[in-house]
Amino acid sequence: MTQNSMLNPASDPTVRNTLMLDGVLYQRILSKLDECGNKQRPSADRVFRRLSYAHAKIAIDIESEGHNQRTLVVATRNLSQGGISILHSSFVYTGTQLTVNLITNTGAITPCHGSVTRCEHRGGRVHEVGIKFDEEIVLREYLNPNPKSLLHSREKVDIEGMDIKLLIVSPNSDFSSSMRQYLQPTKMVYKFVKSEAEALEIFNAHDMVLCQLDTVTMQTPETVRKMREQGFTNPIIIAGRPTSEVDSHVIGACGADMILPWPCDEQTMLCSIGEYIFNPWTAESLENIRSCISPETRRVLYVELAKIGVTLDQQVRTQNQSGAHTSCSRIRMLAPLLNLVALKSATDDLTERISIENSLESLAPELNQISLACKGMSQRAA
């Protein structure tokens, strides 16, 4: 093996882990371990949440007396901010010093030094080894999160340490009442506003924004997008449950950092907010996650634009002015998510003109062009 393949054995097809596990058998063992683990309650003392981190081949450098070092290739099970769980073919003593060569989202290798805190026999030759890192890591760098993944790195948070300025956008009094109850024990300074207009006037004065999802108008993603366009780089959380697959993809691509299913309990809410208080982040690192729109999201949004194009064509033919206004509003919301600047600009103007014209007759040529452009999106989705 070359030095590079020892650091990242995943790049070398000839290398196998100590258990000779890969493919279906590896996934089957992980599923079995997770099934057993789900029956056990996490320790009340646990601070960091364990999340799935399935790599069949990770290199670890084990130190021994005399400072000799040997490198092994092992499979992994899960990862937390404070450590990792690996699957190995033999027993490893508690206290053993080692370095785990973690693989980041970009494929880079990060050596993380730590020590063995537990070794449990799971059956056959499988031993699960728990390793505590000397220094905490940033999970977002390794687990490839997206806004819909609800990445929580902590089981609980220090309420006394929650002291940011939070803007909460919601017209719903029940939501606001619950949020007041959840946030009251913290040291956060929080302000409630009911409308997008109010939010867009003051959002820049806050460390974080939390918006309740309006599932009727779907205006919330547009509000978030406007905040991003005006230079807001701090975290934004959307609380709610999308009612369709398309809406879910729209929210995932609008510039929010997290989609928090609502309703939720106090602990889940505080851990969601705490994710951006207690863990390090930069504007660049958050933007890198937000800007990674998946191929599936692009496909769904292109298909949706094509469908709207067909609908708009029919609305122009039947002079359905209200329907055409709704379609153009929807196109105006979707276009910037796919960086379709010209389409967004054209529908901006048309949406306003539709609302003041007496009929669609004079706007028909432009609307037909918009309809044609949208119907053409089906080719991009293919």
In tens, the pLDDT along 348-379 reads: 889 989 988 888 999 999 999 999 999 999 99
pTM: 0.79
Q: What confidence category does residue 153 fall into, taking pLDDT thresholds of 50, 70 and 90?
A: confident
Compute the average pLDDT of residues 301-323: 96
Whether 328 has a pLDDT exceeding 80, the answer reads yes
In tens, the pLDDT along 259-275 reads: 999 999 999 999 999 99
Task: Check residues 140 and 325 and name the one with the higher pLDDT.
Answer: 325
Whether 150 has a pLDDT exceeding 80, the answer reads no
Q: Which long-range contacts (CB under 8 A, 24 or more apart) does 189-196 make?
A: 189/163, 189/164, 189/165, 190/165, 190/166, 191/165, 191/166, 191/167, 192/168, 193/167, 193/168, 193/169, 194/169, 194/170, 195/169, 195/171, 196/169, 196/222, 196/223, 196/226
Q: What is the pLDDT of residue 338?
A: 92
Q: What is the pLDDT of residue 138?
A: 86
Residue 76 near residue 87 (C-beta atoms within 8 A): yes
Residue 82 near residue 117 (C-beta atoms within 8 A): no
By mean pLDDT, which of 95-109, 142-156, 274-288 is the weakest?
142-156
Measured CA to CA in angstroms, residue 132 lies from 67, 87, 119, 238, 329 at distances of 20, 15, 12, 33, 51
Compute the average pLDDT of residues 253-258: 92
Spatial separation of the C-alpha atoms in residues 136 and 286, rounded to whole Å: 19
Whether 149 has a pLDDT exceeding 80, the answer reads no
Structure tokens at 86: 């690996």
Compute the average pLDDT of residues 231-252: 93
Q: What confidence category does residue 159 fall into, taking pLDDT thresholds of 50, 70 and 90?
A: very high
**What average pLDDT is seen over the chain?**
90
249 phi, psi to nearest 5 deg: -70, -35
By mean pLDDT, which of 138-152, 164-178, 231-245, 246-260 is the weakest?
138-152
Q: What confidence category does residue 148 fall into, taking pLDDT thresholds of 50, 70 and 90?
A: low
Q: What is the pLDDT of residue 2?
A: 45
Quick one: which of 377, 250, 366 has its CA closest to 306? Answer: 377
By mean pLDDT, which of 31-35, 169-173, 204-208, 223-227 is the weakest?
31-35
Compute the average pLDDT of residues 313-319: 95
Measured CA to CA in angstroms, residue 356 lies from 57, 118, 315, 332 at distances of 63, 70, 17, 17
Structure tokens at 289: 């996650």
In tens, the pLDDT along 335-349 reads: 999 999 999 999 988
Whether 45 has a pLDDT exceeding 70, the answer reads no
Spatial separation of the C-alpha atoms in residues 30 and 54, rounded to whole Å: 8
Q: What is the pLDDT of residue 34?
A: 85
In tens, the pLDDT along 209-219 reads: 999 999 888 89
